[in-house]
Chain A
Amino acid sequence: MNNLNFINPFSVREDPGSSVGDLYTQNFSRHAKTGTVILNLGPQHPSTHGVLRVIVELEGEYVIRAEPVLGYLHRMHEKMAEVKTPWQFIPNMGRVDYLHPVAWNWAQVGACERLAGLEVPERAEYLRVISCELNRIASHLMWWGAFVMDLGGVTPILYAFEEREKINDILQIITGSRLTISYFRFGGVSADIDERFVRLTREFIPYLRERLKMYKALVTDNVILRRRLEDIGPMGVDICQRYGATGPVLRAAGLPRDVRRDIPYGVYPKLDFAIPAGPSDDCFGRYLVRLFEVETSLNIVEQALNELPDGPVKMDKAPKANWKLPAGETYFAVEGARGQIGVHLVSDGGKTPYRLKLRAPSFCNLSLFAEAAKGVLLADAIAILGSLDLVIPEVDR
């Protein structure tokens, strides 16, 4: 009886905090009302995106209380940063967020470069932008497919994967890998692009623009999707700012905050791109913002390819694997697909950093969920969870 996920409402209420369920469930059920059902979603559940567990208290079909349980994918990335040299830690960043690894690459490499005062050649900066934006598109496409699958439409994820595979093919030319990419190096990038990369990217941009029209006709205009998303899970600027939500979640609430614009890094100040905000703070607004960001990223890639200067892709005397950081403290933030990725780096001048703090956007976005899911239908809670675009390794780190 101890391992029952589903608790009989008639047996548990006389004994609140009974031995049914594990520690989290017991603690959660201590505050449960009479006549409610406590249900565990996850940690293995088709609609929870990785090993996230959410305990919900249900009255009928309505969620009264929800509590995410984290830590199933905790891999001590921050501790590993303290026992590895900065170079050796680069591959870890691809494992933190497997959907947008290039942005995490940039956050860590950028923090080390800022601390050491390294100059990156301009061509490398443009290549960083191109790879980061291509990867952002891949991440948003994956989210798009997975989100629609959460809502019950299984077909679109297969179409999204077709585009995603094309991006993977393009990124594989320069990075050598398709998922856990480690492309950035201190003072540049690991490889230069070739003629095939340029050709495939130039073919891909108009191709995806055409496909986005198909996405709109197939999914965005679909009446079932709209009725599932419109006016569901409104998250205003107030709740976003209280929990520190960033990225598309905050921008859908109407606040055009974007690290690429607000705390510029790389060559983003030289590029012209729009930061979408709004139109609504519900699930459908967050959906639209992400699809618009795909178009924005396509524009950025196109511009960067047109303006790509010649030159080296790595600085002279770039740091090697045994490179030591100078003593000091710094913070570097980049805009990932899910929001602001921050790296706070403290070094005492030793072989390994003294401390590396990773600020993951998914963690803050997830903490909204408990408040936003109060009083909604269980199916709508799943829609809210999906609209946050969570990557669980990033939440747990």
Chain B
Amino acid sequence: MFRAIVDNIKGLWSLIVGLSITGRFFFSPVKTVHYPRQVVDPESLASYRGPLELVPADDVGGSKCVSCQMCVRACPGNCLTVIKGKEGKAPETYLYDFTLCCLCAACVESCPTSAIRFSHNVYLTARTREELHMDLLADLKARAAKASQ
């Protein structure tokens, strides 16, 4: 009987302890990042794997790709299409289907010339499926044009 009373008092005390902890957290500052008013600091995105992008070889949008098809063969999801150009080794087409990509880095690690890498774009959004079918050569040119401005 005495023990039951002590147990109940201890139990009630544990509830008060719990409430004091949640009460303290209730008045502590917000922990989450309120996008778009705030963004995550770029340092913590340095190794984030976003959609693939080509590494620029020069300032005018040339790529280091030699169309060897290693990335195409390595990819588990078949999301890359590389077609060799008529002159030289540079690719004519480099298509990337982000809807199929699992960001596993098989292509990045198998590339002999380190021509592709992950972007750190966490804010990518698309309204349609087609927007995620990316043309990486066009993207590379657009980035070079933007940088030269």
A interface residue numbers (CB < 8 A to B):
84, 87-92, 155, 159, 162, 169, 172-177, 180, 182, 185, 190-191, 196, 214, 217-219, 221-224, 320-322
Contact = CB atoms under 8 A, between A and B. Distances in A.
A223 B109 contact: no
A321 B110 contact: yes
A320 B105 CA distance: 12
Nearest to B74: A321
Interface in B101-144: 102-106, 109-110, 118
Contact of B44 (A89, A90, A172): A172
Given A87-B106, A217-B17, A172 B22 contact: no
Secondary structure at the B interface, as helix, strand, loop or mixed, is: helix
A320 B49 contact: no
A176 B118 contact: yes
A180 B102 CA distance: 9
A190 B49 CA distance: 13
Contacts of A172: 44, 47-48
Contact of B103 (A92, A176, A224): A176
Given A87-B74, A174-B47, A176-B47, 12 more contacts: A84-B76, A91-B106, A155-B22, A172-B48, A176-B49, A176-B118, A180-B102, A190-B109, A217-B21, A223-B10, A322-B73, A322-B74
Contacts of B118: 176
A90 B104 contact: yes
Secondary structure at the A interface, as helix, strand, loop or mixed, is: helix
Contact of A223 (B11, B31, B70, B105): B11
Contacts of B31: 162
29 contacts: A87-B106, A91-B103, A91-B104, A91-B106, A92-B76, A159-B25, A172-B47, A176-B48, A176-B103, A176-B105, A176-B118, A177-B103, A190-B105, A191-B47, A196-B43, A217-B18, A217-B21, A218-B17, A218-B18, A221-B14, A221-B17, A222-B15, A223-B11, A223-B12, A224-B15, A320-B74, A320-B109, A321-B70, A321-B74
Most buried by B among A159, A176, A322: A176
Contacts of B104: 90-91, 182
A224 B46 CA distance: 44
A214 B48 CA distance: 32
A90 to B, nearest CB: 6
Interface of B: 10-12, 14-15, 17-18, 21-22, 25, 31, 43-44, 46-49, 70, 73-76, 102-106, 109-110, 118
Contact of A218 (B22, B74, B105, B106): B22
A320 B108 CA distance: 11
Given A176-B49, A182-B104, A321-B73, A169 B21 contact: no
Contacts of A88: 74-76, 106
Contacts of A219: 18
A180 B76 CA distance: 15
A162 B25 CA distance: 12
Nearest to A161: B31
Nearest to A177: B49
Contacts of B11: 223
A177 B104 CA distance: 9
Given A191-B47, A321-B106, A89 B17 contact: no
Contacts of A84: 76
A91 B102 contact: yes
Given A91-B102, A190-B109, A223 B47 contact: no
A87 B77 CA distance: 12
Nearest to A322: B73
A157 to B, nearest CB: 13
B98 to A, nearest CB: 15
B16 to A, nearest CB: 11
A91 B110 CA distance: 15
Contacts of A222: 14-15, 18
Most buried by A among B106, B110, B118: B106
Nearest to A217: B17
A366 B88 CA distance: 59
A88 B105 CA distance: 10
A223 B74 contact: no
A319 to B, nearest CB: 11
A159 B26 CA distance: 11
